[in-house]
Each structure stands twice: as structure tokens, then as C-alpha cells.
Structure 1
């Protein structure tokens, strides 16, 4: 089943729902939750939510065996999140550990690109916050 689209959530609700979906091995659904925040949130936060959505869809591709696309999206999402954080100087918006998420994405992208094998989305799910 698909995740409902176009749902407007409070930012912390977005993070909590996305984390629950990531923990359940449903990164594409988490991507859709982040995408809702990206499309409905304030303009100055859209790059953050878009970057987090890219990370979730990167994990989706890596889990489905598209290692090239997965690694690319993980790196692109990490770059976007890192750039947003630098521009804002805010390293834990809504409880999200941006530095930790960026480290997770870059490390996973390296392993995915080198290994060429699908990853387990549950095992590889990031921790967004503490």
C-alpha cells in the first residue's frame, strides 16, 4: 500500500512518522512523508525536507538493488542537508541530528557503491534523532 500523499503535518510529526517508517523498512514511504513537508512547508525549510526525502529514496534504491542510483541519491541528499545546515547554522532542527544523518548517508553510499549488493532497509535505516 502507498503512503497517503499531500498530508500536512507539523515538523516533529513528520520526523516521527518518517522514523517509524524507516524503522519498519519502508524508506519509500518515509520519502513520501518528507516530500509532503518539502511541498507544504515554509520556503526556507524546503531544501532540508527535499534532502531528507532524497536520503530516504536513496535507501529505497539501494535496498532494491539499484546501487548506482542509491549511492548517487544518498550523496545528493547528504549534500543538500549539509548545505541547508551550513546556511542556517542549525544542526538539530526538530530533533534531527543533521551531522549524524549526513555521516550515515555518506558511509552507506560508499558501502553501496563498493559492494554492489542490495542492502537491508531495516538494518541500514538511519536514526534521525537521539
Structure 2
């Protein structure tokens, strides 16, 4: 028998509580508030919420907001939003101590985001892409200890 959490459509969903960096906690533990699975917001609001979450050192939660924006975005913007979500996942890997995962996601994010110049909604695509590449290179050279808290909360716009 599969005891995995499922939504009404049968898709796997984890109802387990999560810590500040999105790691699952034991059932019944008190975790962080989650971004609802059905979260939707206009792009400007999603950016503001993602920025608030990054500034509060909650990159996993920022990723969830950006992922929702990516899934709702029109086709011409999807890769940008996917890149922004990957940027937040890269930051999550930093916080979880996964240097290889951080490097990989930061580089993927940079490649996607850099393609948008100019970017819609005032997104600072060029500087975000450069920031992600610099971080990935620094992690590769000097390890996760080279990452500062400020590195994990860049201005999205």
C-alpha cells in the first residue's frame, strides 16, 4: 500500500511539514508555513512575495512562489520564470549544504534568465544572471563558506 499524500486528481503531494529550507520534517512536527499548492498572483505580486521571502532567508518558499508564476506564465515568459525559480532552488541548495546542486542550479538559472534582456516587470535579468554565475564560480573555487547572506537575497528587480 502506498501511503503517499495525493491531491484530488491523484497527483503526489507532500503534506509533511517542512523546515525553513524546505526539508521534510517528521509527520506531526511543527514546520514552517507553506506556500499553498494553488498559489496564484499577478507577476508583480509574485516578484514582491519572492523578494520578501528571499530577504527573510526562505529561498525554498521563494522558489514555490516563482514556480507558481512559471506555471501560470504565458509561453514567451516561461523560461524566465523557470530560471528565477531555479535561482531560488540554487540558494536553497546553498542553505542545505549541497555545493554541487547549488552550482548546477545557479548555472541553469543564469542561462535561462540571461536570455531576457530587457526582461518584463522590471526584472533585473542581466544582473541576476551575472550574480548567479559569479556565485557558482565562487562556490566551485572556494566552497559554500564563500557565500554570504547578502548573496542569497539579490534584488529581483
Tell which has more relative contact order, 1 or 2 (C-alpha 8 A, sep 6+). Answer: 1
Aligned residue in 2 for 1:75: 107
- State which of 111, 114, 119 in structure 1 corresponds to 2:138: 111
**Given the alignment of the two structures, is residue 22 of structure 1 paired with residue 54 of structure 2, yes or no?**
yes
TM-score (norm 1): 0.87
Q: How much is the aligned-residue C-alpha RMSD, in angstroms?
A: 1.4
Query: Hey, which of these two has a bigger chunk of helix by percent?
Result: 1
Report the structure number with the largest CA radius of gyration. Answer: 2
TM-score (norm 2): 0.73
CA–CA distance in 1 between the matches of 2:90 and 2:67? 13
Aligned residue in 2 for 1:128: 156
> Structure 1: which 5+ runs fail to align?
none
Aligned residue in 1 for 2:121: 94
> Structure 2: which 5+ runs fail to align?
1-31
Q: Please list the CA deviations of residues 20-41 of structure 1 after superposition, one character each: whole Å capped at 9, or x if unmatched.
A: 1001111111110010011112
